[in-house]
A and B are shown apart, each in its own frame.
Chain A
């Protein structure tokens, strides 16, 4: 099997994901109508489907830990962020005064989602059991939305102040980097189930190990590095956006009286 054949042939049909995406889009149009921000939702749906039905999902389902990590990044960071950005600016998010809206809770939600799903039993179970896998997808999307809420809430007033957001995002970057560093350099397997890939499709296995030259050790390294470097770059991009927002911030409220007129 060549890479090209693999990319063409290994799309998987996940009815639930497609129905869910279609419902999400319908709900969006029904609630907000067709508007310019819908492109963000289309991008979110694209990223979601990329993780569910593309060859990436085939790889993540037992072959490559690193592909599984890429899915995590898509589901936890990219899809929820794009979804929040797709909402029209006047929308007020629900549960504004509840606990998950608190920035500390939101931070913990985002960071613990990454840490908990890489505890060995949970990581293994997410690959072997369909139920746990569905639970994982749902929790990543939900916790991701909670995490991004203080940064990307549609209404300006529901967001954190930009310097606060910089700390929020940077500390999340550090927390994920630490896990990424541990995974990259750990001599033990984080997710041992990837040591026994499904042997129903020998061609895929051969392509990965011989064609791409990815050994299980390298696979785990790539997984850790994905979490360490590109994931931090996502946070870093958000930090730049926050700072841009700060310096571009127009006068909020009446300007205080200035001292000593010249």
Chain B
């Protein structure tokens, strides 16, 4: 290995000045390409950890009555394996690919908020370290990736492992939301001028739609985690049945997030398939519109059907019936996609590159995983198979068969763009066959194991006929997959140094990322080709028979909102989800009035007066914006100061209320009323403080002469946020203070 090839492989993306300090240039980068690669490398590191955990699990299960690991070790192994694979492997790697590809595909220079992008990435290693720090602090969590209450509560898991688990997921959740916001705003505001929303390549469109799912679903989990942490650290009782709480509530919250989460990682995989399959079939995608619309349908339906994860809880036939019907519906838009991908290949000149092979395999494995998924939507069947290896086989068909295979396909497809060099097809084919054979050895047989009754989440099993042999086959398969993973990493490392030089467009692909050098320069493009259809590079290469022009439909296709306002508005949508869960929890836990100190201690008239201050501040900030637009800076600063004062007065009022409650012995751990009250109003107060900080920054900037040409880009977005905080208080005040008056 030549000495100066080492830097050149790692520094090809850097400018000459940055090469002097290439480590720093990577770590301090706000360039979407480097952040994308950092996401993927981080994902790979955690993939190794979670993969080793999986191998330990399979070794333990290789023979009956095995005692390689203890039951407790087995519990944390499958907990850490699941949590890591989903939150620290699948999501970061997919976000990384999207981070790299999406701005290039839409002809942008970078993401809309490069620093937020770096922030979102750095939360991944931070969250991962927090999760794994639990090894040093009393042992890792051993409650499953779903952390069902009350097992995850202090009486049953007294070690801080679950706390680390919850805090880590909270951190990762915040990172994911920030990435989701960034993707949405990037698509809306950074597209090339001719790149209308209807001309988006399917990959970008699907990441766009999926990001809405990210910002809607993650806050639900965050709200649940906050409640779990309050239970564990502040003696709350949200999910403790003997404290009046509801363990089922945790399941509702977790699966209201957990079901969409499946699609959060599946839709980017669909997005990769929709990009790779057409290119290697030498045909445009069959039915672009159907793939695009079915994605939206999947996203919306997925938010509606979480209760099918809870058929075994005993919600009653009535509830089950509705969710069976709604869940089966998801098969329709998903099936539409499978047909579209298949029809794309029919009659095309299919090139079986490694990327294409992985995508075809993903399609087939997902067909199996999808069909077994539909079988789980049928409640009676679900009761029989839910706690068996049949379910393990099902979701691994989705998570590995679809998602990991699609990721590998995507990496083989885009690696030449990222590195400038081709991955070895020879090693690639080996990887593919080892992976596919290994995967099917490991998981296909688990369908049979499950149907013959082997329960999951149990550390060992008795020597029943056939179980030992089937488990052994499964374990052997797992090692095939491990070998395939090692080959893949080997391929990446060697190809970085010795791979064939890729050139701009090695696959003769059609989207914009292939219209620039490999790897692209820091600013991505020197000049963009004309964009009139969904395959601009096809049009350039075949001027004699270009794709049909996708019309520009007037104002809508040109829709480009203000970047900061769009960012704050998407953030508000996400926050509304968070508060929505807290408010639903409040209504649920206080549906029947409790005895004991509670609502009677609240001072409704006094709080009403303080609330009026907050409501009026929405008016004053609006006046401030009006003053700014009419060019009266002093007046603007005046109204802004009044807004801050009113917000401050409100916070004083909240402080007085809390003080009064504490003095009369009402603290967060007292009962469910106190728990829900302090959680809801406390988080609102926190948001008011954040808004006040924002306003103070704006005031400071304005006082330092930041107003130029009647413009101040920060005031509008901060104003939106302030209005949001006020609107939340309208709801909180209504349900906490007014609703009991009506009863």
Report if B16 contacts A (CB, 8 A).
no
Report if A232 contacts B (CB, 8 A).
yes
B198:A253 contact, CB within 8 angstroms: no
B584:A178 contact, CB within 8 angstroms: yes
B530:A221 contact, CB within 8 angstroms: no
Q: Which of A166, A187, A221, A247 is close to B289, meaning CB atoms less than 8 Å apart?
A: A247
Identity of the chain A residue whose Cβ is nearest the Cβ of B248 in the assembled complex: A185
Smallest CB separation, B202 vs chain A (Å): 13
Smallest CB separation, A256 vs chain B (Å): 6
- Complex CA distance for A152 and B553, rounded to whole angstroms: 19
A253 contact set on B, CB distance < 8 A? 554
B323:A229 contact, CB within 8 angstroms: yes
Q: Which of B540, B554, B587 is close to A182, meaning CB atoms less than 8 Å apart?
A: B587
Q: Which of B296, B552, B556 is close to A256, meaning CB atoms less than 8 Å apart?
A: B552
Helix, strand, loop or mixed for chain A's interface?
helix
Provide a sorted-by-A list of 28 A–B residue pairs whose CB atoms are within 8 angstroms. Answer: A163-B559, A177-B304, A182-B587, A186-B591, A187-B592, A218-B316, A221-B316, A221-B318, A221-B319, A222-B318, A228-B322, A229-B304, A229-B325, A229-B326, A236-B297, A240-B293, A240-B297, A243-B292, A243-B293, A243-B296, A247-B289, A247-B292, A252-B553, A252-B554, A255-B551, A258-B194, A260-B529, A262-B543
Report if A114 contacts B (CB, 8 A).
no
A185:B588 contact, CB within 8 angstroms: yes
Identity of the chain A residue whose Cβ is nearest the Cβ of B593 in the assembled complex: A188
- Complex CA distance for A188 and B592, rounded to whole angstroms: 7
Report if B193 contacts A (CB, 8 A).
yes
Report if A130 contacts B (CB, 8 A).
no
Q: Which of A170, A182, A248 is close to B300, meaning CB atoms less than 8 Å apart?
A: A170
Report if B580 contacts A (CB, 8 A).
yes
Report if B12 contacts A (CB, 8 A).
no
Report if A4 contacts B (CB, 8 A).
no
Q: Please name 15 further chain A to chain B contacts, defined as beta carbons within 8 Å, in addition to the given A187-B592, A239-B296, A243-B296, sorted by A numbering.
A: A161-B555, A177-B304, A185-B588, A188-B591, A188-B592, A229-B304, A229-B325, A243-B292, A244-B293, A247-B293, A248-B289, A250-B551, A252-B554, A258-B194, A262-B530
- Complex CA distance for A166 and B588, rounded to whole angstroms: 29
- Among A177-193, those with CB < 8 Å from B are 177-178, 181-182, 184-188
- Among A217-231, those with CB < 8 Å from B are 218, 221-222, 225, 228-230
B319:A225 contact, CB within 8 angstroms: yes
**3 closest pairs, A vs B, by CB?**
A251-B551, A247-B289, A225-B322
Q: Which of B300, B552, B742 is close to A255, meaning CB atoms less than 8 Å apart?
A: B552
Count chain A CB atoms within 10 A of each CB in B296, B323, B325 and give the residue with the most. B296
Interface string of B173-213 (1 = CB under 8 A from A): 00000000000000000000110011000000000000000
Identity of the chain A residue whose Cβ is nearest the Cβ of B527 in the assembled complex: A260
Report if B231 contacts A (CB, 8 A).
no
Report if A116 contacts B (CB, 8 A).
no
B319:A184 contact, CB within 8 angstroms: yes
The count of chain A contact residues (Cβ–Cβ below 8 Å) is 46
Report if B539 contacts A (CB, 8 A).
yes
Smallest CB separation, B484 vs chain A (Å): 39
Interface string of A42-79 (1 = CB under 8 A from B): 00000000000000000000000000000000000000
Smallest CB separation, B693 vs chain A (Å): 29
B283 contact set on A, CB distance < 8 A? none
- Complex CA distance for A31 and B123, rounded to whole angstroms: 64
Smallest CB separation, B255 vs chain A (Å): 13
Q: Which of A166, A188, A232 is close to B296, meaning CB atoms less than 8 Å apart?
A: A166
Report if B532 contacts A (CB, 8 A).
yes
Report if A259 contacts B (CB, 8 A).
yes
Q: Which of B318, B322, B532, B551 is close to A218, meaning CB atoms less than 8 Å apart?
A: B318
B591 contact set on A, CB distance < 8 A? 186-188
Report if A233 contacts B (CB, 8 A).
yes
- Among B315-333, those with CB < 8 Å from A are 316, 318-319, 322-323, 325-326, 329
Report if B301 contacts A (CB, 8 A).
yes
Identity of the chain A residue whose Cβ is nearest the Cβ of B539 in the assembled complex: A262
Identity of the chain A residue whose Cβ is nearest the Cβ of B198 in the assembled complex: A247
B554 contact set on A, CB distance < 8 A? 252-253
A236:B293 contact, CB within 8 angstroms: no
- Complex CA distance for A250 and B559, rounded to whole angstroms: 17
Report if A199 contacts B (CB, 8 A).
no
Report if A249 contacts B (CB, 8 A).
yes
A260:B530 contact, CB within 8 angstroms: yes
- Complex CA distance for A97 and B536, rounded to whole angstroms: 42
B539 contact set on A, CB distance < 8 A? 262
A188 contact set on B, CB distance < 8 A? 591-592
- Among B558-585, those with CB < 8 Å from A are 559, 580, 584
B552:A163 contact, CB within 8 angstroms: no
